[in-house]
A and B are shown apart, each in its own frame.
Chain A
Amino acid sequence: MTDAMPITRSLPVLVDTVGRAQLGHHPGPAPRSAPLYVCGGLLIVDPFAPDLAPYAEVDATEGEGAWLPLAYGEDVARTLRATRRSAAKVPVSADDPAGRVLARDSAPWRPGLHHTPLARLAVLMWLARWAPFPLSPALLDIEAGTLLAALPDVVEDAEDTARDLLVRRAPDLAAIATSVLDRGVLAGEHWVAALLRDALTATAHLAEDLPLAPRLRDLADRACLEAGEDNAADTMDSELRRLIERVPAYEGTTLRRADGWRTADVDWAQVPPNAVASHEGAIRWRLQGSGEDTGIEVGVDAADQYVADPVGDRLAFRVYTPTRPLPVAIGALEHGAASWRGTARLREPVHPDRLHVDVYHPAWASPVRSGVAAALAAAERQAVRDLMVLRTHLARDDRRQLVRWAEIVGADTAARLTRIEEEHGLDPLTARVDGLVRAALAAAGNEPPDPANPQLASSEWRPTLAEWSRLRPLFPA
Chain B
Amino acid sequence: MNRDDAARRRDDTESVVTAATRAWNRVPRATRCKFNPKGGYTKRIWEGLLYHVARDTNLELRPVLRHDSRGELTAAQAEQLVAAIVGQSARLDRAGDWVQGLKAARGEVKRLRAAAGKSLPAAASSLSHRIFPAAWARSAEDRAVDADECLLLFQSFAHDDPDFPPPTHAAFKALFARQEETEALDDILAAFTPAAEATSDPAAVRDAEALLLDAPLGADWERLWARYTLLRPWERHLTAVHATGLSRHAVPARPTVQDDRQDDSPGDASQDPPLTISAEEEQDCAGEVFGHSESTVLPLDRSIWRRLDHSVRTLASCPSAAGLTAREVVHEEARRALAALGLANDEQRAVLCLGIVSFPAVGAEHSAVLLAKRTAVPRLLTDLAELTERKSFVATTLRLGAAQHAPVRRALEDPLPGCTRLLWRMLHSAEIRQEDLPNPDERWIRLIRTAANRYLQVLRGELKLVLSGTKPAEAEQDAHLAGDRLENLADDLTGPDSTAPVLYRGPHTHQIVVDVIVDGLEQRGTTGAELVDWVHRFIDPLHHDWAEPAWGELYAEYQHKHQGDSGPVAFPPVPFESARDIVRSLYRPEAGGLR
Contacts and interface: CB of A to CB of B under 8 A. Distances in A.
A100 B12 contact: yes
B518 A57 contact: no
Given A37-B460, A125-B467, A314-B506, A320 B594 contact: yes
Interface in A431-472: none
A344 B464 CA distance: 37
A252 B400 CA distance: 28
Contacts of B25: none
Interface in A367-381: 367-373
A17 B449 contact: no
Interface stretch (A70-78, A189-197, A276-284, A321-329): A321-329
A99 B583 contact: no
A31 interface: yes
Contacts of B371: 94
Contacts of A29: 3, 393, 396-397
A244 interface: no
Interface in A133-185: 137-138, 140-141, 144, 161, 164-165, 168
A67 interface: no
Given A97-B76, A326-B518, A364-B401, A332 B507 contact: yes
A19 B386 CA distance: 11
Interface string A352-372: 001010001111111111111
A367 B587 contact: yes
B296 interface: no
B254 interface: no
Nearest to B394: A35
Interface in B554-595: 583-590, 592-595
B76 A34 contact: no
A338 interface: no
Contacts of A427: none
B401 A164 contact: no
Contacts of A48: none
B12 A325 contact: no
Nearest to B379: A98
A366 B587 contact: no
B442 A60 contact: yes
Nearest to B536: A325
A370 B591 CA distance: 9
Interface in B77-97: none
- Chain B interface size band reads 35 or more
A61 interface: yes
Given A253-B595, A310-B472, A332-B506, A18 B382 contact: yes
B382 A99 contact: yes
A109 interface: no
Contacts of A126: 397-398
A107 interface: no
Nearest to B381: A98
B259 interface: no
A128 interface: yes
B446 interface: yes
B143 interface: no
Contacts of A362: 504-507, 510, 585
Interface string A251-281: 0110000000000000011001100000000
Given A20-B386, A60-B442, A253-B594, A311 B475 contact: yes
A246 interface: no
A367 B536 CA distance: 13
Contacts of B397: 29-31, 33-35, 126
Nearest to B585: A365
A330 B460 contact: no
A365 B504 CA distance: 10
A318 B394 contact: no
B383 interface: yes
B476 interface: yes
A323 B532 CA distance: 9
A325 B390 contact: no
Contacts of A320: 588, 594
Contacts of B464: 161, 164
Interface in B142-198: none
Contacts of B437: 61
- Chain A interface size band reads 35 or more
A248 to B, nearest CB: 15
Contacts of B463: 37
B594 A370 contact: yes
A340 interface: no
Given A61-B445, A165-B468, A347-B518, A269 B507 contact: no
B399 A326 contact: no
B594 A99 contact: no
A361 B401 contact: yes
A330 B593 contact: no
A309 interface: yes
A251 to B, nearest CB: 8
Nearest to A312: B401
Interface in B435-473: 437, 442, 445-446, 449, 460, 463-464, 466-470, 472
A331 interface: yes
Contact of B9 (A99, A130, A168): A99
A96 B74 CA distance: 8
A286 interface: no
A356 B390 contact: no
Contacts of A325: 531-532, 535-536, 587-588, 590
B508 interface: yes
Nearest to A314: B506
Contacts of B383: 18-20, 60, 98
A103 to B, nearest CB: 16
Interface string B505-528: 111101100100110000000001
A234 interface: no
A144 B585 contact: no
Contact of A363 (B393, B504, B590): B504
Interface string A9-40: 00000000111100000000111011101000
A311 B507 contact: no
Contacts of A92: 375
Contacts of B398: 30, 35, 125-126, 129
A252 B595 contact: yes
A95 interface: yes
Interface string A268-310: 1100110000000000000000000000000000000001111
Nearest to A251: B595
A331 B464 CA distance: 32
Contacts of B535: 325-326
A42 B446 CA distance: 17
A309 B399 CA distance: 16
Contacts of B469: 137-138, 140-141
A227 interface: no
Given A326-B583, A332-B507, A18 B375 contact: no
A105 interface: no
B479 interface: yes
A62 B437 CA distance: 12
B507 A61 contact: no
A327 B507 CA distance: 12
Contact of A140 (B467, B503, B507, B508): B467
Contacts of B379: 17-18, 98
Closest 4 interchain pairs by CB?
Answer: A137-B469, A98-B382, A316-B507, A363-B402
Interface of B: 3, 9-10, 12-13, 74-76, 371, 374-375, 378-379, 381-383, 386, 390, 393-394, 396-402, 437, 442, 445-446, 449, 460, 463-464, 466-470, 472, 475-476, 479, 503-508, 510-511, 514, 517-518, 528, 531-532, 535-536, 583-590, 592-595
15 contacts: A18-B383, A30-B398, A57-B386, A95-B74, A95-B374, A97-B76, A129-B399, A129-B466, A141-B469, A253-B595, A309-B472, A318-B510, A325-B587, A326-B587, A363-B503
Given A125-B398, A128-B466, A314-B506, 8 more contacts: A42-B394, A60-B442, A98-B383, A140-B469, A269-B396, A325-B532, A330-B511, A362-B585
